[in-house]
Amino acid sequence: MPNGPWDIGVPVLGVAAWSGTGKTTLLVAVLPLLRQRGLRVGLLKQSHHAIEVDTPGKDSYELRAAGASPVLVASPVRWAMMGETPTGADPGLGDLLARFDPGEVDLILVEGFKHEAFPKLELYRSALGRPPLYPQDPHVVAVATDGPLDPHPQVPVLDLGRPEEVADFIATYAARHRP
């Protein structure tokens, strides 16, 4: 792959931060703003927990528990595919991104994978007492924060409390990085 595992034919941008910074809260505010700009946004969310998206007793759960993998469930309003990770290891970023259809999205936002080498928007809150990622991570392309940064990064600094500003940055990033 010419640029890395994230080079799948559509722009990919991570939203990276320490737990408790507000990644999901910001994304919930920014996603409608991106949709208003006409962007079709896919989202990949990393979880470190054994997620269960199906309900015991439902046919799809029972079929997966019986050994089918993957299981695709479809209805007139949505569909979902569930598969197993038999190794017990975190799936790779490239493998997960490859599951997106580049014809159906204009941008993929990735929540998590903060230690992976791919373009990221860092969210930073000094009150959490955790170090910022940008001084050591050359893949941070902007920082959204709620206060001053020291040292000042060499990338754009956004106001974490202004979702419109963050959406503007993401939309511009997506437009600049379309193949």
**Per-domain residue ranges of the chain:** 12-48+90-176, 52-89
User: What would the mean pLDDT of 145-165 be, rounded to a whole number?
Assistant: 96
DSSP strand E in the chain: where? 12-16, 41-45, 71-74, 79-82, 107-111, 120-124, 140-145, 157-159
pLDDT tier at 60 (50, 70, 90 boundaries)?
confident
Q: At 127, is the pLDDT very low, low, confident or very high (cuts 50, 70, 90)?
A: very high
Average pLDDT, rounded, for the chain = 88
- Backbone phi, psi, residue 13, to 5°: -140, 125
On the question of pLDDT at 29 being above 50, the answer is yes
For range 67-93, the mean pLDDT: 80
65 contacts: CB under 8 Å, gap ≥ 6:
none
Provide the pLDDT confidence category of residue 49 given band limits of 50, 70 and 90: very low
Owner of token pair 């392309």: 141
What percent of the chain has pLDDT above 70?
A: 92
Write down the pLDDT at residue 67.
Answer: 81
Binned at pLDDT 50, 70 and 90, residue 84 comes out as: confident
CATH architecture of the domain covering 12-48+90-176: 3-Layer(aba) Sandwich (3.40)
For residue 54, pLDDT over 80 is answered with: no
DSSP bridge partners of 14 = 110, 120
Rounded CA-CA distance 61/79 in Å is: 14
Give the residue-averaged pLDDT of 92-102. Answer: 88
